[in-house]
Structure 1
Amino acid sequence: MENTKATVETLNDLVLINNDRIAGFERAINELKDDGADLKNTFVNFIGDSHRFKMEIATEIAALGKDIETGTSTSGKLHRTWLDLKAAFNGHSTHSILEECEFGEDAIKKTYQTALDGEALPAYIRELLTRQQSNLKAAHDTVKALRDGVLH
């Protein structure tokens, strides 16, 4: 019973961080200038990935007979508030948008690693999260490469 509770808490944390990721990329899309069509498409794909990840995780939470968290995490809300404040001073250059996207990708990678480092997860859930984590690492590397390719 205690393992189930810990597993559900971990999975709900991952639902919330995926919600944060979706909100972050939606915000980035809104801030990109008209010439950022390719970047917008990349971000839309990342949003789709996080929706799929959430559904996969939610299926496991439901199978354990528990409720699925909704909304975004407190840390995600604080990060977006900070971004709003920073943007008021810095504007919305493509480089700064990509920097913030990379920061968000770092956060979700860390959350997944923390979840996988925990001992409560059954092997089949660990396998699911490892697959998602691999996808997230590739997305992070894409964002980092895009950021590195854009002039300040």
Structure 2
Amino acid sequence: METNNEIISDLKGLVNIVNDGKEGYESASEATDSIELKAVFLKYAAQRAGYAVELKDHIAQHGGSSDNVEGGVLGALHRTWIDIKQALSSKEDTSILGAIETGEKAAIEKYDKALEDYQSHADHIDLLQRQRTGILEALKEIETYHQRLAK
């Protein structure tokens, strides 16, 4: 069984990944000219901001704190990648959607890793599963848009 510090560390890692997603979606909303995609991106940016708050509440319950409101280094790299792909591509929205898919898959992997240690995360397992499901649903919606635009 993990110590409280390890649980807090896991949760902080999830805060980083949801903040990466929030920032990625905000950047994507600024990069697209599509009103429809802009709305989808902003919806998921807001969702991720809510997830971060929920995770920070659980960190506090375990005696830790997280003042992180931005993503980690990977988030900055992910945003840079979106900017580069957008600048180089004639099909801007498909590149943006592809970058988001990459980020969402990484987020799901991070949640899966936390969910593997069921006992350590028992007091917030429902939260982690619900958030993972929300990210998976976002991924499916993004993939649908990507497939539609790629035709």
2:29 alignment counterpart: 29
Structure 1 distance, partners of 2:27, 2:143, is 18
Q: Which of 46, 49, 63 is the aligned partner of 2:47?
A: 49
Determine the C-alpha separation between the residues in 1 that align with 2:120 and 2:91: 40
Q: Are 1:105 and 1:140, in contact at CA under 8 Å, matched by a contact in 2?
A: yes
User: What residue is the counterpart of 2:129 in the other structure?
Assistant: 130
Aligned to 1:40: 38
User: Which residue does the alignment assign to 2:105?
Assistant: 106
> How many pairs are equivalent?
150
TM-score, normalising length from structure 2?
A: 0.89
Q: Which amino acid aligns with 2:147?
A: D
Taking structure 1 as the reference length, the TM-score comes to: 0.89
Q: CA deviation at 1:82?
A: 3.3
With 110-119 and 131-140 compared, the bigger mean Cα shift is at: 110-119
1:28-85 CA deviation, whole Å, 9 max, x = no partner? 011101xx11111111111111111111111111111212151321222223233333
Which one scores higher on RCO, CA 8 angstroms, separation ≥ 6?
1
What does residue range 86-101 of structure 1 map to in structure 2 within 5 Å?
86-90=85-89, 93-101=92-100
SS at match of 2:150: coil
Separation (CA, whole Å) in 2 of partners of 1:123 and 1:27 = 34
CA RMSD between the two structures: 1.9
**Distance of 1:49 and 1:82 partners within structure 2:** 22
Q: 1:11-30, aligned counterparts within 5 Å? A: 11-30=11-30
SS at match of 2:3: helix
- Greater shift in the superposed pair: 110-119 or 9-18: 110-119
Q: Which runs of 5+ in 1 are unaligned?
A: none
- Runs in 1 of length 4+ with deviation above 2 angstroms? 78-92, 118-122
